[in-house]
Structure 1
Amino acid sequence: MRKALALSLFTIFLGGCASDPADRDISGTWINQVAIDAAAKGGPLREALQAYGPNLEWDVNTKAAQARYTNGFENADGRLLGEQSGTWKVDFYGSSASELKRDGSHLQQVRSDNEPEQRFDRAQIPVPEGAPIGASFERALYSAYLGGSWKIVSGEGEGNAVQFQADGQVSGLPGADRYGLCLAGDCASMSSDNDSMWLQLNGKGNDWIFVRKGKDLEIFRVVNTALADEMPALTPGERKWLLEKQ
């Protein structure tokens, strides 16, 4: 009886040890779901990204000792230096370093002198093979923030049903077949505190400023208040559309 009990306990112990590496595994694509959930409440997009950023997506390959991330503007490629007590250090070739570890089903980016602590979830929406880093975050954000059916209640095409797809396609909005939301970088600098998007038709398009308030989405033409030799400074002009979430 004692032998059987000892064997049982030994088996449980081995089983627990065998599961530990999987529990600590950080390989895969991880997205900033916290920022997406905050944006999906229907408020300003940039506020949500700034509050829970700056990083939007991590892609980790422990076998190749590689890790990279994007903040929506810059992409950084790093080298995994190995695991110590469940924490992986990522070296960005001498310029900086980050630490990553599993926190249950989440990936935690440990707080550092340069960046705050952040949590990431495994990406669920598939992206095409070879898609650039950030594509998983972008598709999840587009689906959560603009997914579903919208109706034009004011503006050209009034009464149309509009759908913004996760892959950047849009239907029902006159003069546009694709769109893109500004997440960071030059487009954000140019539009100051305003949210902006890119709308195009047959490969040609323009910047637009938008305001999201709950179920309402206003889209404005842009006015550039900068001088010719200055960086563009985009502010809202005439409202082109008012859309309502159905």
Structure 2
Amino acid sequence: MRNALAMSLLAIFLGGCASDPASRDISGVWINQAAIDEAAKGGNLREALLANGPNLEWSIDSQTAKANYTNGFEWVEGKLMPEKDGVWQVSFYGGTSTDLSISGNQLIQAASDDDPRQSFMRSGVNLASDAPLGTHFEHALKSAYLGGQWRVVSGKGQGNQVTFLADGQVKGLPDANAYALCLAGDCASMSGEYDSLWLQQDEVGAAHIFVRKGPQLEIFQALDSAKPDEMPQLYPGKREWLLEKQL
């Protein structure tokens, strides 16, 4: 009887601790895995991000009461405060705020006037602790969207094996040893309905338009229809490469 009572009291104690928001530490880096999974299907990258965004990564430190996020363009800093029932409030400059909570293995960002409800997963990417905000998401996205081996079907270097690395290096693509995917911001405004990426060889680089259709990746020259005093408006010109993923 005494043992049963002790077990009951222990269960009550543990249950009380679990319900305390302060005991459910949400510290760490959380990435928008839903956007990555959608992009990995091999379609339009920007559409996948917009459908599951806009926020791509949270970096949270409950010890310093900091919670920062990025949408691929902005870095937004917030102050983290625990509320009741396992909810944390993040307050931003200007008086706006959002609520975060844990549901299973997901971080849930509640719907607000500014953003829809979103879910995030703890990052499994192994990076330095001082990696810039958004780097975990970009590494995971690049691995899922462009990972594996590609072959140049047509274009310069036909027959080459091409590898896009998660850290932004590219191997086997002529005249390029680095790349960056356009996720949001000015590059997205300039490319409009098209996906774009930056290809660079050492210190020289240029924007390109690309089209991903399953195992095929077409990369085009980026032409500009804007006037000299206007923001560039890029559209696809000559196709430079057709790559095919090796399945």
Q: TM-score range by the shorter chain?
A: over 0.9
Which amino acid is 2:78 matched to? G
Q: Which residue of 1 is the match for residue 7 of structure 2?
A: 8
CA contact (8 A) 1:23 1:102 kept: no
CA contact (8 A) 1:24 1:101 kept: no
Q: Secondary structure in 2 aligned to 1:84?
A: coil
Q: TM-score normalised to the size of structure 1?
A: 0.96
Establish whether residue 83 from structure 1 lines up as the match of residue 83 from structure 2: yes
CA contact (8 A) 1:88 1:100 kept: yes
Identity percentage over the alignment?
Answer: 54
Q: CA deviation at 1:229?
A: 0.5
CA-atom RMSD, angstroms?
A: 1.3
Q: CA deviation at 1:76?
A: 0.4
Q: Secondary structure in 1 aligned to 2:83?
A: strand
Q: Which residue of 1 is the match for residue 232 of structure 2?
A: 232
Which amino acid is 1:10 matched to? L
Q: Which residue of 1 is the match for residue 167 of structure 2?
A: 167
Q: Which residue of 2 is the match for residue 99 of structure 1?
A: 99
Establish whether residue 185 from structure 1 lines up as the match of residue 177 from structure 2: no
Establish whether residue 204 from structure 1 lines up as the match of residue 223 from structure 2: no
| CA deviations over 1:55-110 (Å, ceiling 9, x no partner) | 00000111111110000001100111333221111111234111111111100000
CA contact (8 A) 2:17 2:23 kept: no
Q: Which residue of 2 is the match for residue 70 of structure 1?
A: 70
CA contact (8 A) 2:107 2:119 kept: yes
Q: CA deviation at 1:130?
A: 1.9
CA contact (8 A) 2:19 2:85 kept: no
Paired residue total: 245
Task: Provide the rounded CA distance (Å) in 2 between the counterparts of 1:93 and 1:144.
Answer: 34
Which amino acid is 1:87 matched to? V
CA contact (8 A) 2:199 2:206 kept: yes
Task: Provide the rounded CA distance (Å) in 2 between the counterparts of 1:83 and 1:66.
Answer: 15
Q: Secondary structure in 1 aligned to 2:120?
A: strand
CA contact (8 A) 1:59 1:68 kept: yes
Q: Secondary structure in 1 aligned to 2:43?
A: coil
CA contact (8 A) 1:225 1:234 kept: yes
> Which sections of structure 1, spanning at least 5 residues, go unmatched?
none
Stretch deviating more after TM superposition (56-65 or 81-90) = 81-90
CA contact (8 A) 1:23 1:104 kept: no
Task: Provide the rounded CA distance (Å) in 1 between the counterparts of 2:129 and 2:64.
Answer: 18
Q: CA deviation at 1:18?
A: 3.9
Q: CA deviation at 1:19?
A: 4.3
| CA deviations over 1:27-61 (Å, ceiling 9, x no partner) | 11000000000000000000000000000000011
